[in-house]
Amino acid sequence: MHTKIDSPELWAGLELSIVGGDEREQEIARLAVEAGANVRTFAFPMGEEGIAGTTRCDSVEAALDQAKVVLFPIPGIAMDHSIFATEKIIPTADMLSHMTDDGHIILGKADENLQTAAGANNITLHEYEHDQELMLLRAPAIVEGALQIAIELSEVTIHNARLCVVGQGNIGTVLTRTLIALGARVTVAARNPVQRAAAYTMGADTISIDELTDNASGFDMILSTVPAPIVTPQVIDRLPRHALVMDLSAPPGGCDLDYAKQSGRAAVWARALGRRAPITVGQSQWFGVSKIINDILGAGS
């Protein structure tokens, strides 16, 4: 996986800030420096020595000061409007006013609060949560992380277990294929009949979302990739007591995990699984981000 930097001379001196995130942002920062940008960092793990070639800031305002391009994390923004970071950062119009007048923010997905703050400052938002190429590149790391959690928390082996995967988007499809390869008996619950047909060709049984409650008693694990309230208390009550409930979706999530825990079942919100392989996933995210920056710089040349 290699990203060609178009017109390297345009990257030279680019003021780029990386605000929030986790260990993946370390690799992104390294690659941004390699591309020729002036990189400032804030609110993600950097280690005591920091990241070579970057400026480590002590406030979000310092990180954003006269930045033309700002990278926010790919994980969805929380319900309180804060981005995924090592300290609480809720974007405001005043905060974003520190960027250049023609600034750009690149992130997974913006909420209404960020859209309003950006609009007040003539800042362009670039969302890549639905970039299918990028999501597929990072999917193996997410699926590996999900398997690790399932192995640690479940009381059955994945092999020959009865698993339900809710949703067949990019992550759900790779998860289904991997679980089948490991010998699991997989049922896919999806609204889209074409997605169900594709899952069938991989060897999965399929049901519609509306059939999930009636079939839940047959599942040892249920893994949801859909950020909508689908794994409800009604579904959870039908699951066996030993069942594992895992939510792999972005906020607001798709499983009532509090209810699952109260009912005595193992439950986990498996967010930011890409951090288990930060170099690989950081490179895949940079692959998508750098293409967006190439387009920004090309448009401004």
| 148-195 tens-digit pLDDT | 999 999 999 999 999 999 999 999 999 999 999 999 999 999 999 999
pLDDT (tens digit per residue) in 48-100? 888 999 999 999 999 999 999 999 998 778 889 999 999 999 999 999 999 99
Residue with tokens 């703050």: 117
% pLDDT > 90, the chain: 76
User: What pLDDT score was predicted for residue 178?
Assistant: 97
Cα–Cα distance measured from residue 89 to residue 81, given in angstroms and rounded to the nearest whole number: 8
Identify the band that residue 4 occupies on the pLDDT scale cut at 50, 70 and 90.
low
pLDDT given at position 127: 93
| Contact status, residue 131 vs residue 288, Cβ threshold 8 Å | yes
Which residues does 175 contact at the CB level (< 8 Å), separation at least 6? 143, 146, 165, 223, 225, 248
Using CA atoms, how far residue 16 sits from 25, 157, 265, 289, in Å, is: 13, 46, 45, 12
Q: What is the dihedral of CA 148, 150, 151, 155, to 10 degrees?
A: 170
Distances (CA, A) of 128 to 77, 194, 218, 234: 13, 24, 36, 34
Architecture of domain 8-129+277-300: 3-Layer(aba) Sandwich (3.40)
The dihedral region occupied by 209, where left means phi > 0, alpha psi between -120 and 50, and beta the remainder, is: alpha
Q: Residue 21: which of 285, 295, 247 has the closest Cα?
A: 285
pLDDT value at residue 6: 59
| Confidence at 128, pLDDT banded by 50, 70, 90 | confident
Query: Is the per-residue pLDDT at 8 higher than 80?
Result: no
Phi, psi of 28 (to 5 degrees): -60, -45
Domain ranges of the chain: 8-129+277-300, 133-270
What pLDDT shows up at residue 244? 98
Q: Would you say the CATH fold of 133-270 matches that of 8-129+277-300?
A: yes
Q: What is the phi-psi region of residue 13: left when phi exceeds 0, alpha when psi lies from -120 to 50, beta otherwise? A: left
Q: What is the CATH number of domain 133-270?
A: 3.40.50.720
Q: How much is the mean pLDDT over the chain?
A: 92
Q: Are strands 124-127 and 54-56 parallel, antiparallel or unpaired?
A: unpaired
d(CA 255, CA 233): 9
Q: Is the previous residue joined to 252 through a cis bond, with omega within 30 degrees of 0?
A: yes
Summarised one tens digit per residue, pLDDT across range 221-274 is 999 999 999 999 999 999 999 999 999 998 788 999 999 999 999 999 987 677
Q: CA–CA separation, 126 vs 144, rounded Å?
A: 28
Radius of gyration of the chain (CA): 21
pLDDT at 5 over 80: no
Instruction: Give me the pLDDT at residue 68, please.
Output: 96
Note the pTM of the prediction, 2 decimals: 0.78
